[in-house]
Structure 1
Amino acid sequence: MKSVLIEMEKLKNLNSGLGQFCLNLGKQFQHLNIQNLDLNFYLPASQKNIFGENFSYIKQTALHKLIPLNSLKYDVWHCLQQDTPYLPTTNNTKLILTIHDLNFLEKYKGGKKKRKLYQLQKKVDKASVITVISKYTESVVRENLKLNNKAIHVIYNGNSLEVVENTTKPKYITFSNFIFTIGIVAPKKNFHALLPLLQNNKELHLVIAGNCETNYAKQILRMAEKMQISQQLHFPGIIDNATKYWLLKNCRAFVFPSISEGFGLPVIEAMSLGKPVFLSNLSSLPEVGGDEAYYWESFEPEHMHKVFEKGLADFNDAKSNRSIQWANQFSWENAAKAYLELYNVL
């Protein structure tokens, strides 16, 4: 039986996108009939047994960053994200490296950018196989890293939206006409570009879920105050699954003007509920939204308003059903089976 170690450091923060990636993939492994593979989860001590008693668990410690865990007993070592400090100690253990994005290319400049690229290249050199979460990420990897004929596989993320029955409307929702977005509240999400939509419609509200204590969140609040739309902007902070489900289910539209996404999971979650989604036409978003989403080609307020109003007028039951069908192709079952196939063939 082939022994596989799956590195899940990011389970330490279940509210992060990478934390959710690890969690949902592991949960799906629980539900599959896995044969000829012995899966071992390498994760923070706080998450031991998170996927049940049928798997083995290895506790990550700070010491492992100095004295790495011996990988001799493992045939395959899968790192679920590219920034991991935990790598196999021998070339006899085949490394699968999953790369989600290369956002640091835009975030950093000069020496720091070069160091990050050098560190990632070293991991790529060590890997037997590279996996990415979108064709867009694949294109960025091929452009900036030397693969030396290594195989690269696109394995899409799944829709992780938890269906929550009988959800209660949040107390701060005292209006019916609102648009919704969610994510880390950072400049790359470009949420401030949505504010002019509120100026054009005083009955429209915007709910932005995520950490509202960031400098960027405070910048958005200052902009809203200056534009005299503060009463239409709402920052509930980090929300639970039930609240997210209610907001997605009841929003007029999901809006996501992000300028840099490796995948963009909230888009699929919204589409799975048949909601109209409005996205930037940048990075992976056209790939994820397909023909069923509406796209902003610029962030000029008049253009955004025109696309938004035209999209709302165009959206109907048939379009909603097509959005649901499109979203259904992105499943964690499909993702888990694709990874298991890689484990078997290495």
Structure 2
Amino acid sequence: MYLPPRRKLKLPPEPYHLVEQRWHKLFTPFLNDCRVWHAPFQSGRIVPNKKRYPNMKVVLTIHDLNVLHEGKPEAYQQKSLAHTQSLIDQSDAIVCVSEFTRKDVLANCNVGNKPLHVIYNGANKAPNSVSEPPSFQPEREFLLGVGYLNSKKNFHVLLPLLQANPDLELIIIGRHDDPEYVTQMKTRAQSLGVETRVHLLGTVSEEEKSWYLSHCKALLHPSLAEGFGLPVIEAMQFGKPVFLSTLTSLPEIGGEAAFYFPDFAPDTIQEIYSRGMKAYENPALAEAIVKNAARFDWRESARQYLSVYESLM
């Protein structure tokens, strides 16, 4: 694993970690015997010079082209697409993390005759037990949102649910990615009179996240754009009902075991939520939810990536 400075992953054994150095711009002896270089994200900046290493094959994973679905300025979209296209041009095989992303890539990029695969992300297995409580615990039953707090995640559309359900709180965990949107969320909550039941916790530890996932009443993820949607699977591993938007990859990942908002009108969200929680009273649904989550397994993802690597050698 070739890692940037100060971000060395704590994964044994250490000899399999290479940390980027300034002199690597001129001299990279560790690549002399490298047969496959895997660039794991489409906004990455490092792909070896194929002229210097003509026998090396490059695999590129594209997680999303969300820039096309977020309402960004046209110039911004084109700049992002141009960067992704430049990496595609340097690659020998491309992997997308969902069928939706694959279709997006085919519609907006030129992959030529290069092989294009779909390999789903996996999910770390949920712990068997979650006993250590987090520093903040709500006083009531709570709904959960997981993800960067920005306009793309669309969490503000959930606030009217608290008006209609005074016995519920809303907890959102994830980095505050857009201060303006955070302020908008707080202002909107105040205007609806629900500010004391909205908790924007920011980043939490993995242990705390597991506690919130295992104790929440439901996960709500009304995102406008996702290449995959990992929080959906994390909640489903605990057998929790999930409520999603119908946009981008989410229906593909949530499958028939999830509930979907056809629009974000307060009445629609309340109706879908009430209907879903009523359906969840059937124990068979919780079993179907866990079964759907099991589709996404890192061992299977790794096996498929290995097959891609071998196809290039």
TM-score (norm 1): 0.83
Cα offsets for 1:198-227 (capped at 9, x unmatched): 111111110000124732112101110111
Q: For residues 175 and 155 of structure 2, what CA distance do their matches in structure 1 show?
A: 13
**2:284 alignment partner in structure 1:** 318
Shift of 1:109: 2.1
Q: For residues 224 and 131 of structure 1, what CA distance do their matches in structure 2 show?
A: 41
Q: Does 1:98 align with 2:30?
A: no
Shift of 1:167: 2.2
Gap regions ≥5 residues in structure 1: 1-40
**1:300 alignment partner in structure 2:** 265
Distance 1:103 1:295, change over 3 A: same
Shift of 1:68: 7.4
Q: For residues 343 and 54 of structure 1, what CA distance do their matches in structure 2 show?
A: 23
**1:199 alignment partner in structure 2:** 163
Contact 2:4 2:19 in 1 (8 A): yes
- Quick one: percent identity of the two aligned structures? 35
Pairing partner for 1:88 from 48, 56, 73: 48
SS for the counterpart of 1:83 is coil
Pairing partner for 2:123 from 159, 173, 197: 159
Gap regions ≥5 residues in structure 2: none
TM-score (norm 2): 0.91
Pairing partner for 1:235 from 188, 192, 200: 200
Shift of 1:46: 3.5
Moved more, 237-246 or 303-312: 237-246
Letter in 2 for 1:181: G
**1:309 alignment partner in structure 2:** 274
Shift of 1:53: 2.4
**1:17 alignment partner in structure 2:** none
Q: For residues 277 and 8 of structure 2, what CA distance do their matches in structure 1 show?
A: 46
Cα offsets for 1:15-62 (capped at 9, x unmatched): xxxxxxxxxxxxxxxxxxxxxxxxxx1112445573322753322135
**1:274 alignment partner in structure 2:** 239
Q: For residues 63 and 188 of structure 1, what CA distance do their matches in structure 2 show?
A: 39
Q: For residues 96 and 128 of structure 2, what CA distance do their matches in structure 1 show?
A: 30
Q: Does 1:222 align with 2:162?
A: no
Aligned positions, number: 305
Contact 1:188 1:259 in 2 (8 A): yes
Cα offsets for 1:136-161 (capped at 9, x unmatched): 10010000001112111111111125
Distance 1:77 1:212, change over 3 A: closer
Contact 2:40 2:60 in 1 (8 A): yes
Shift of 1:274: 0.6
**1:181 alignment partner in structure 2:** 145
Letter in 2 for 1:275: K
Distance 1:183 1:150, change over 3 A: same
* Superposition RMSD in Å: 1.9
Pairing partner for 1:73 from 18, 21, 33: 33
Contact 2:150 2:176 in 1 (8 A): no
Q: Does 1:345 align with 2:311?
A: yes
Pairing partner for 1:61 from 8, 21, 37: 21
